[in-house]
Structure 1
Amino acid sequence: MSHQRDDDSRFIVVPRRASDRLRRWAVLVGWPLSLLALWAWMAWRAEPALTDLRAEHGELLKVHAEARAELVTARQQVATLSRSEQISRAANLEVQETLAERDEEIAALRADVAFYERLVGATGQRRGLSVHAAEFQPEAGGSWRYTLTLTQNLNRGAISAGRLRFAVEGVAGGALKTVDWDTLRQADKAPGQAYSFRYFQKLEGSIVLPAGFTPQRVRVTLDGGGGPIDATLPWQGGAAP
């Protein structure tokens, strides 16, 4: 029992003083208050600068909005000008193409007028029904477009009428070959092309040449009232289609 009393005598009860409690409360309450007071003081000191920054920020937003509006307007103007330029360029190209076509038509008409004047003029050489020219141009699909010009000025005022046929002479497989009218027209007993004119006439149509055939000459037959007339002309045509 004496041993237990000796152990208990080592623990001493010390009462808590009021000053300790006050000091603890002062720390717990005073520290946040001091921080709040410091923040309020710093905010008060920074308020003029914040006001200026807010004003500058507003001005920057206004300038940005104006610049964005100007950029949108500029882009629209650029798009409009680009479209206008494209339209103008296309219109100019169309006008140039039209002028080129008109120039070609005028040149062809002038050539026809000169030819007609030589044919019917007082100084023109008198000739009966004949083939003045035979021209060929390739078409899409492998066919050829032909234009044959017939003339006569021997009997002025008289009408020359009849039918035209022609054959094409050339080379195929290293040998001479003649392609007749039926083969050219791709029809059995193909009728000749009718003509009827006073001074001259151009006859047009399409023919098909055999594959591997190289044309060299055109042999034309005119079947009129005065008996057939034959004429041989060199092949005049562009490159094969």
Structure 2
Amino acid sequence: MPVTPPPDYSVRPRLPGSHERRVVAVLLALLLLLGASFTLGRWSAGRGAAAPGQAASAAAQDEIQALKQQLAIVQRDRQVMRVATDALRRTLSDRGAEIESLRADLAFYTRLIGGDEQAPGLGVAALTLSPVAGTRGYTFTVTLLQTARDSNPVHGLMTLTLQGVQGGRAARCAWAQLADARQRDGLPFAFKYFQQVHGMLVLPPGFVPARIHVTLKPAGGAAFTRDLAWAGTLAGKDTIHVPQNP
């Protein structure tokens, strides 16, 4: 039986440090793999945690936007309501003034045709005073009328007299003390149904008026006087007063 010769072995010298380099390379590869796995895990976890937060933030933004739109609508509705309310108030005020004007006109024409209890004849329907700024002067308007049926035209002179207080005592100012020198005899009137007489008076220094008397002196007839409160004439009250003795 043939004998098999033993294998040949060759001895190769090992390079110094080659085994250590392989070990270090393997360790570095493992460390890199572990680092990559850790980073990937953190990124995945962060992405998963951020998704619900982003959804909640988006929902909050949508709700804020919806509330802003609702607030804008409410503010717009409130503004429209305010404008409508102001317009309604102005309309009611205008209607109230119109009603008062119509009532005054009705009362005036009722007196003109003798539809109230006033005695027929010449009368004073109204007297209004307006102060002249920066002076003691007042402009006035006296409305005269005739309430008698089938009355004839009437003409004559009108004067005003004031009663009040001056220097702590009762005082009286005649028309000559109040009027311009050219009108001291009185203001003329001439009408058949009604007329407005305009004029101006100036209060003496220190005089405080309380009452005002309107005296009418028709030509060919007896003079008579109407007594009115000074405050009432300043307020523009349109009333008929009971005649007083001249």
Q: Same fold (TM over 0.5)?
A: yes
Which of 80, 84, 87 is equivalent to 1:88? 84
Q: How far apart in 1 are the matches of 2:234 and 2:112?
A: 31
Unpaired segments of 5 or more residues in structure 2? 1-15, 236-246
Which residue pairs with 2:182 in the alignment?
189
* Structure 2 CA distance for aligned equivalents of residues 100 and 72 of structure 1: 42
Name which of 121, 124, 127 aligns with 1:132.
124
- Residue 84 (structure 1) shift: 0.6
Deviations, residues 203-228 of structure 1 (Å, cap 9, x unaligned): 45554434542324434343554378
1:189 aligns to what SS in structure 2?
helix
Do the aligned partners of 1:169 and 1:179 also contact (CA within 8 Å) in 2?
yes
Which protein has the bigger helix share? 1
Q: How far has the Cα of 1:168 moved from its partner?
A: 1.2
**Structure 1: runs of 5 or more not aligned:** 1-17
CA contact (8 A) 2:154 2:218 kept: yes
Amino acid at match of 1:82: R
1:161 corresponding residue in structure 2: 155
Instruction: Decide which of 100, 110, 114 is 2:96's aligned counterpart.
Output: 100
SS at 1:118's partner residue? coil
> Deviation per CA, 1:71-129, whole angstroms, max 9, x where unpaired?
3322321221121121012112102211211221232123223322326x9x97443x3
Of the three residues 126, 130, 146, the one matched with 1:152 is 146
Secondary structure, counterpart of 1:218 in structure 2: strand
Percent identity, aligned pairs only?
22
Cα separation, 2, equivalents of 1:238 and 1:32: 112
Deviates more, 1:52-61 or 1:75-84: 52-61
Give 3-state SS (helix, strand or coil) of 1:85's partner. helix
Q: CA RMSD in A?
A: 4.1
